[in-house]
Amino acid sequence: MKLRNEYTCPLEMTHDIIRGKWKPIIIWELSKGKKSLSSLKNEIKGISQKMLLQHLQELSDYGVVSKNVYEGYPLKVEYYLTDRGRKIFEVVSIMQGIGIEIMVEDKREDFLKEKGLL
Amino acid sequence: MKLRNEYTCPLEMTHDIIRGKWKPIIIWELSKGKKSLSSLKNEIKGISQKMLLQHLQELSDYGVVSKNVYEGYPLKVEYYLTDRGRKIFEVVSIMQGIGIEIMVEDKREDFLKEKGLL
DNA sequence: CAGCATCCGATCTGATACTG
DNA sequence: CAGTATCAGATCGGATGCTG
């Protein structure tokens, strides 16, 4: 667990958890179900394996993500959101909703339709 | 306006807006009403003037914050949330709520009581 | 009071190569 | 397939001093 004690307010703590560049999108993907490293890597466009692993490790330190490891070859590992992770997902979900609102207001419906979000 | 066009999904855009170290807390303070630079500086413990100004500038580029400037001496400037800023505040507000939940679950009620949040 | 410039260390991110 | 190590560049953040 990596959560600090010197937060000024609870807001800061949540912010600390999701601040990394790829963290919200990782949480978004994991909200759909358990995922292997490689499927996350394929689904998150542009992410490097290093950053993916590093962020998964940090999220795990925060108690947001956990994993099941199955021994044998090929290795199989499943990452998933913990209860706390599903709480954090509520924030991520609102971020998505507000992002859509702003894009609509910004006349970017074309983008949203392309993504199947409108 | 600083919002990019290459977002993969709306989530990324929202994340981009609030990622800076002090951005959520600045938005939180501004949600209470118009504020001068110096009152923000006093209310946000630990922030440097440089970061405060830089983040206000970025939030302004994103259309989240605006300001009124009154000529004369001493100079008077009021920062405030735009409509878009109030949308983003919804995210920040949820971040606070979830942060409180996590702290409760983490047995940090003492902290919350101290801050008058419980 | 509001705001700018500069210097510097810390942190973050990405590319690449390698291991079990 | 999952995970580690290293190196370099980019970005971020903080301290300080100066300006209108």
Topology given in CATH for the domain delimited by B10-114: Arc Repressor Mutant, subunit A (1.10.10)
* Token digits of residue B80: 């405030």
pLDDT in tens, B33-86: 999 999 999 999 999 999 999 999 999 999 999 999 998 888 999 999 999 999
Mean pLDDT by runs of 10 across the 118 residues of chain A is 81 97 98 98 97 98 97 92 98 98 93 92
The CA-based diameter of chain B, rounded to the nearest angstrom, is 51
Domain limits of chain B? 10-114
CA of B33 to C1' of D12 (A): 28
The answer to whether strand C lies under 7 Å from the CB of residue B74 is yes
CB contacts of A104 in chain B (<8 Å) are none
Query: Which residue of chain B has the CA closest to A87?
Result: B98
pLDDT in tens, A63-92: 999 999 998 888 999 999 999 999 999 999
Cβ separation A13–B99 shorter than 8 A: yes
Nearest to B90 by CA among B22, B6, B31, B38: B31
CA B39 to chain CA centroid, nearest Å: 14
Nearest to B5 by CA among B65, B13, A43: B13
